[in-house]
Structure 1
Amino acid sequence: MAREWKLLGTRDAFTCRLFKLKVKEFLSPKTGKPHEFYQIETRDWVGIIPLLNEEVILVRQFRHGSEEMSLEIPGGIMDEDDPFGAALRELQEETGFKANKMELLGVLRPQPALFNNRFYVFLATELEKVGDPLPEESEEIELVKMPLDQVLKDMASGKIDHALVLAAFELLRLRYPELLK
């Protein structure tokens, strides 16, 4: 039977604007020996599936980690606000749309082996265009409106390969199976 490990100590290894890298020492319940593990401590994230007239509003942007263009749902890192407020803010900043209806679809752990944070997934409907996108200085975003069935095809073919985007649409399918046939 798997058991919890006892935390013996923590130290900061590196800190930057987006995250802290921590070294954590845990005691193995199996062997009684200490082992070091790394944890990336970062703020929670939000992702939004914006539906407008049976189309999804996606964002295409260059991702420096993969060094490739990525087609994704709007989203970002939470500031000090709550998940709902962060989702409304990120949607408007990245797309120029305001959601008159925002529903939490679920909360996920992006990568619990390394990250300590959560990923809040929202469905945004009853959208209203309120301005132009206002990406951050370090972002260059292209809006892509795509029929929902095409999003599913692009996920199946690997054209959309962002794991959190696929997970977000799975939450949508679980909540509203009639939308994703």
Structure 2
Amino acid sequence: MPPKDWKLLSSKPDRSCQLFSLRTDRAVSPRTGRPADFFVVEASPWVNVIPLTPQNEVVLIHQYRHGARRVTLEIPGGLVEEADSPEEAARRELREETGYADRLLIPLGAVYPNPAIQDNLCYSFLAKDVYPVGAQQQDEEEDIEVVLKPLEEIPRLIREGQIDHALVIAAFYRFYMEYQTRP
């Protein structure tokens, strides 16, 4: 018999940080009838953008990530701010992090980054025919270098671990498995 949703008994905020809040939920297992506490990271939705030039180059970024304490190779992305739709956030992050804009933005779908402990979604987009429009507009906590790579190199970069950010890999999966197979 497949698992069922648990009945929520209570939910209370614990702590608020700049980018996320913590909350404690108490829920009852439908299988055992026993309650348990769950700690949930509440966060705004995120976006990822695969920017593709007319020459079939992907606009990637090298960015320092403090959680991993190293520079990673990624696609542009960030938070969906309150007033933004995911599409608006994708275009904003593309412009701010790379200095590029798109001619066409195609949704690739959304994934839960970690549904065991997080409540948010990450929306992925393909930005087609991107072109430079000006300088990057980095936040104080950002240090980003723009790098162009041919699209055909992306699978190798993932296989070799040069691209190892799970949400970036999920975006490329959606691109290759869904967008690339459309007639």
Q: 2:179 aligns with which of 162, 176, 179?
A: 176
* 1:176 Cα deviation from its structure 2 partner: 3.2
The residue correspondences of 1:50-129 to structure 2 (distance < 5 A) are 50-52=51-53, 53-80=55-82, 81-129=84-132
Give the AA of the match of 1:43. S
CA RMSD of aligned residues (A): 1.3
Give the AA of the match of 1:7. L
Alignment: residue pair count? 179
Q: Secondary structure at the match of 2:169?
A: helix
Q: Secondary structure at the match of 1:24?
A: strand
- The answer for the alignment partner of 2:32 in structure 1 is 31
Instruction: Please list the CA deviations of residues 97-156 of structure 1 after superposition, one character each: whole Å capped at 9, or x if unmatched.
Output: 111110101111111111101111000012221101111011000111111122210101
* 1:36 Cα deviation from its structure 2 partner: 0.4
Range with greater deviation from structure 2 (166-175 or 40-49): 166-175
Give the AA of the match of 1:67. R
Give the AA of the match of 2:109. G
- Rounded to whole Å, the distance in 1 between the matches of 2:42 and 2:52 is 32
- The answer for the alignment partner of 1:10 in structure 2 is 11
TM-score using structure 2 length? 0.94
Give the AA of the match of 1:138. E
- The answer for the alignment partner of 2:167 in structure 1 is 164
Q: Verify the 8 A CA contact 2:94 2:100 in the aligned structure 1.
A: yes
Structure 1 position 20 matched with structure 2 position 21: yes
Structure 1 position 137 matched with structure 2 position 143: no
Q: Verify the 8 A CA contact 2:108 2:179 in the aligned structure 1.
A: no
Point out where structure 1 has 5 or more consecutive residues left out of the alignment. none
Structure 1 position 155 matched with structure 2 position 155: no
Matched residues, percent identical?
Answer: 42
* 1:177 Cα deviation from its structure 2 partner: 3.1
* 1:159 Cα deviation from its structure 2 partner: 1.4
Give the AA of the match of 1:58. L
- Rounded to whole Å, the distance in 2 between the matches of 1:151 and 1:177 is 14
Runs of 4+ with >4 A deviation: none
- Rounded to whole Å, the distance in 2 between the matches of 1:89 and 1:170 is 23
TM-score using structure 1 length? 0.95
Point out where structure 2 has 5 or more consecutive residues left out of the alignment. none
Q: Secondary structure at the match of 2:32?
A: coil
